[in-house]
């Protein structure tokens, strides 16, 4: 994400209120633009199809199918996303830019090949009672999404952010337009075919962006793979985080009292899916603050601290740089808490009006309020985790994401056992505990840095 930080700092050099607003807007578009386009594209297609009274049941089947595709592909690629992002970053630092494209293409080919195998196995084991065409379209969408997630992460490291968002816009516009025409004739199959076409466009366009950014000769990087270090703990972090973000939904989907069968083995839980979906839309302001603060104030303080170490700064310079990093961390987290806190208060105060405006029953109110708090805590969780990544605290990141996963499993199960009043509390409590743990460990680490510096300054010079 370093390129985003450069762009934000360039905008802020003008030192005007307009440049500040532009920087926040830019951060919001980069952090949530592709995600919002994806959500609104699928929703718009469903709205247009239902408004025309065409295949309303097929639209529900399509939206549930796409939800499972997104969930499964994110969990499947979770172990690879952070692992290879760090691997490629180390290659760039070592000035091995020409070999990057070989690593990326090998990674994409490996993920897609393994994805095809997994899709075939799942289709045989669980989708035997569904038409072969449905299995094929689902498998194709799964493999395409696996490649898209990898290339999207690589795309965020480039400076051409407008192109990244623009290609997402093109892809989901294609899905909406093609879905209207294909769905009118083919129903569910038409909608899935439109989705696969859009993802195919996105996969090829993002691939072209990455190839253009990292030109080089294609070769099998066997020697490079054997000499370059892999940080395998990052694979566990990616797996635990993505699994933790979805496990509460999975538990609600496959609990008979809170769900219903939709198509094949796929189930949905309207009582939980709708509130959690609406809640995630309310973290866009917090995401903009999160990216803005992380990539400007904190990164500048972090770079100053590292510069003082590399260039042989004295103890007082290190102490000033360390205090700047602490202040930037506290200010950033406090700003995120303030903005998202206001959003939470607003959402809770106007819950009935929000649900009525969107056409949902007021019975969702309590779950919606718990989920709004939960997703806000998830934003704080992501902020702490990113600070950990900058400080290379991989072990503590594993512990933090594992606590989120286990807490979400345990507390969500307890909430299901407790009854409807407690629905949504499991997700909220798991993140509350994970955030407390993360903040405690982060503060201890920063204080440990200061303690180590102080001890180093007291050691006599024997040269």
Domain boundaries defined on the chain: 2-230, 274-456
Alpha carbon distances (Å) from 267 to 132, 253, 270: 19, 5, 10
Find the DSSP H helices in 282-424: 284-293, 299-310, 315-349, 351-358, 365-390, 394-418
Quick check: 70 and 246 in contact, CB under 8 A?
A: no
Query: What pLDDT does 39 receive?
Result: 76
Please identify which residue in the block is written with the tokens 């903009």.
Answer: 288
Global pTM reads 0.84
Tens-binned pLDDT, residue by residue, of the chain (463 aa): 445 555 666 665 666 656 666 666 666 666 666 666 677 777 777 776 666 655 578 888 888 899 999 999 999 999 988 888 888 878 777 777 777 778 888 888 889 999 999 999 999 999 888 899 999 999 999 999 999 888 887 776 655 667 777 888 888 889 888 888 887 778 889 889 999 999 999 999 988 888 887 776 666 666 555 556 778 899 999 999 999 999 999 999 999 988 888 888 999 888 888 888 888 888 777 777 777 777 667 777 777 777 777 777 777 777 777 777 777 777 777 878 888 888 889 889 888 888 887 777 888 888 889 999 998 899 889 888 888 887 788 888 999 999 999 999 999 999 999 988 889 899 999 999 999 998 888 777 666 655 444 444 444 443 3
Percent of the chain clearing pLDDT 90 (strictly above): 26
Tokens of 102: 């070989």
Strand positions, DSSP E, 165-314: 260-263, 266-268
Query: What pLDDT does 251 receive?
Result: 94
Interacting residues of 61 by C-beta distance below 8 A, sequence separation 6+:
188, 262, 263
Query: What pLDDT does 299 receive?
Result: 73
Going by the DSSP 8-state scheme, the letter that residue 16 receives in this structure is S
Query: What pLDDT does 454 receive?
Result: 47
Query: What pLDDT does 197 receive?
Result: 94
Quick check: 435 and 377 in contact, CB under 8 A?
A: yes
Going by the DSSP 8-state scheme, the letter that residue 364 receives in this structure is G
What gap in Å lies between CA 35 and CA 45, rounded to an integer?
A: 16
Q: What is the pLDDT of residues 309-342, one digit of tens each?
A: 777 777 777 777 777 777 777 777 787 888 888 8
> Long-range contacts for 150-153 (Cβ within 8 Å, ≥24 apart)?
150/77, 150/80, 150/81, 150/84, 150/104, 150/107, 150/108, 150/111, 151/108, 151/203, 151/206, 151/207, 151/209, 151/210, 152/34, 152/206, 153/81, 153/85
364-379 in b/e burial notation, b at 16+ Cβ within 10 A? Answer: bbbbbbbbbbbbbbbb
What gap in Å lies between CA 112 and CA 106, rounded to an integer?
A: 10
Question: Three-state DSSP class for 268?
Answer: strand
Going by the DSSP 8-state scheme, the letter that residue 265 receives in this structure is T
Query: What pLDDT does 204 receive?
Result: 92
Interacting residues of 436 by C-beta distance below 8 A, sequence separation 6+:
none
> Long-range contacts for 340-349 (Cβ within 8 Å, ≥24 apart)?
340/283, 340/285, 340/286, 340/289, 340/376, 340/379, 340/380, 341/376, 343/282, 343/283, 343/285, 343/286, 343/372, 343/376, 344/282, 344/372, 344/373, 344/376, 347/279, 347/282, 347/372, 348/372
Quick check: 378 and 408 in contact, CB under 8 A?
A: no
Bridge partners of 260?
A: 268
């Amino acid at each position: 994400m370093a390129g985003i930080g450069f762009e934000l700092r360039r905008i802020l050099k003008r030192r005007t209120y307009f440049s500040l607003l532009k920087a926040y807007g830019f951060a919001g578009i980069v952090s949530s633009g592709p995600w919002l386009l994806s959500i609104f594209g699928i929703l718009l297609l469903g709205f247009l199809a239902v408004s025309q009274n065409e295949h309303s049941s097929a639209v529900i089947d399509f939206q549930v199918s796409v939800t499972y595709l997104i969930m499964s592909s994110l969990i499947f690629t979770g172990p690879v996303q952070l692992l290879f992002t760090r691997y490629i970053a180390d290659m760039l630092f070592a000035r091995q830019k020409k070999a990057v494209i070989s690593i990326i293409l090998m990674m994409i080919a490996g993920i897609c090949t393994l994805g095809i195998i997994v899709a075939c196995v799942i289709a045989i084991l669980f989708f035997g009672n569904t038409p072969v065409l449905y299995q094929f379209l689902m498998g194709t969408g799964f493999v395409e999404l696996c490649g898209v997630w990898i290339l999207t992460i690589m795309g965020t490291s480039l400076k051409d952010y407008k192109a990244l968002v623009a290609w997402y816009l093109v892809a989901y516009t294609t899905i909406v337009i093609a879905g209207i025409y294909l769905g009118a004739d083919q129903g569910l199959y038409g909608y899935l075919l439109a989705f696969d076409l859009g993802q195919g466009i996105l996969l090829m366009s993002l691939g072209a962006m990455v190839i253009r950014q990292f030109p080089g000769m294609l070769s099998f990087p066997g020697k490079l793979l054997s000499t370059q270090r892999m940080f395998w703990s990052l694979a566990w972090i990616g797996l635990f985080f993505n699994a933790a973000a979805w496990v509460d939904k999975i538990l609600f989907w496959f609990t008979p009292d809170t769900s219903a069968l939709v198509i094949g083995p796929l189930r949905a839980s309207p009582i939980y899916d709708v509130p959690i979906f609406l809640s995630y839309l309310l973290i866009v302001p917090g995401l903009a603050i999160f990216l803005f603060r992380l990539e400007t104030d904190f990164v500048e303080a972090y770079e100053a601290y590292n510069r003082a170490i590399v260039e042989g700064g004295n103890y007082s310079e290190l102490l000033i740089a360390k205090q700047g990093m602490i202040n930037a961390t506290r200010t950033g987290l406090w700003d995120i808490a303030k903005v998202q806190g206001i959003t939470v208060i607003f959402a809770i105060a106007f819950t009935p009006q929000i649900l009525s405006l969107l056409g949902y029953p007021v019975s969702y109110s309590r779950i919606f309020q718990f989920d709004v708090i939960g997703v806000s805590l998830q934003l704080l969780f992501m902020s702490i985790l990113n600070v950990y990544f900058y400080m290379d605290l991989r072990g503590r990141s594993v512990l933090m994401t594992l606590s989120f996963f286990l807490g979400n499993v345990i507390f969500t199960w307890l909430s299901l056992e407790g009854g409807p009043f407690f629905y949504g509390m499991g997700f909220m409590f798991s993140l509350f505990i994970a955030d407390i743990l993360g903040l405690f460990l982060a503060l201890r680490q920063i204080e440990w840095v200061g303690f180590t510096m102080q001890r180093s300054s007291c050691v006599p010079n024997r040269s």
